[in-house]
Structure 1
Amino acid sequence: MSRVAGDAPDSDAALLRLLADIAACRICRDEPVGGPANALPHEPRPVCVASSKARILIAGQAPGTRVHQSGRPFTDASGDRLRDWLGVDEKQFYDPEIFAIVPMGFCFPGLDAKGGDLPPRRECAPAWRSQVMELMPQLQLILVIGQYAHAWHLGQLKQKTLTETVRNWRTILTESDPACPVMPLPHPSWRNSGWIRKNPWFETELLPALKQLVQRHISEAVGNIASRSAE
């Protein structure tokens, strides 16, 4: 699923064309990094919600099995936990005037020998990510989830470990782009429940600040929608 918020004026034409190209992408199957032996073993189904109005970008990892089936991002237990972290309901979460959802890999990468999701495909971000980001200059907050999103979005602000990066969230918010600050998060997978227990500061310090940031942007977005409706 690839979509743009609202009707597409002429200024959104480039984003619409890009989303159509993403929806048709088969690079990981037809031209995989490392040759045919590394091809995606199933039909690609790119999942990306890009928006010309969204204030917040959720930069995740890659779709899991349930998202691959539904074609809608975070339609799984990880999504339930992420929405709880953000303090939003499904209606707010899937409103493209509030959130854009652009993972590091658009297609489900498959499972490893232990039944866990493989890393995001290596073909995806180099082919598409910069183009998508350039067409969403209105973003005001980026939430980066997991080590692959940390590496792409944080650059030198990324620390040696995921724990060190997330623990450094205050500095990252301050030192990233002031027009569109970045907040690092772990993946909301239930596999990370042990990590959350070992790092109680995540729930007592980071999550309240995250909810406050998100609610501020939601309030502003709702105000803008109301203003446009009144015109």
Structure 2
Amino acid sequence: MTNEVLITVVAGLVLVLFAFIYQKNRGLRIIVGSIGALLLIHGGYTYGTVQPIPYMETFDTGNKLMVQYPVDRVQVISPVDKDTVKCRIITMGVYPENHTNDIWVLLKPADDKYYPQSDFTNTSYKLNGEWQVVTRFGGDAGEKYDLIVVETDSIASKFFGDTISKWKEADDYVGLQVSEIPETAVELERISVTLQDNCRGTH
């Protein structure tokens, strides 16, 4: 319950109680009691029905490649190379049955820095030979990005996860120099995409 609703309900109760206790002027009692009742109804209605609308992030998907089975390597199936993408997409791919390493997506915009992408689980979601990760762009319309898929061991995964946590805490996404990327993050595939819209300040 917000402070405004609480004040409304308390004021309504006080006015209703006053109307019950005050005996001298019947007309005043009716007016004050009616106002109190209206405040109580309004406060109760507001508390019960007016809730903050949660922010829901939405994501687009790009064009999609046909998958050749059996899958023999980790690969991106969406977006496709030279695709035009929106500000928030789901990058999707496939992996062979015996693949156990974590999969990460790194974005490399025009500043030549690297930006690991993640959702709440940090590493890409993997299930039944398919993987996906939330991918957010922050550049200008027409800007080109390298979208890089890497596989990592636990050390590199922890580094990327800790890096993202620090950036979020500071609200400052400074990017990584290539020299900062752990050697155990092995590049598997790289495609080029172009931003469809101006994505600055959208995250």
Q: TM-score, normalised by structure 2?
A: 0.26
Q: TM-score, normalised by structure 1?
A: 0.24
Larger Rg: 2
More helix by percentage: 1
More strand by percentage: 2
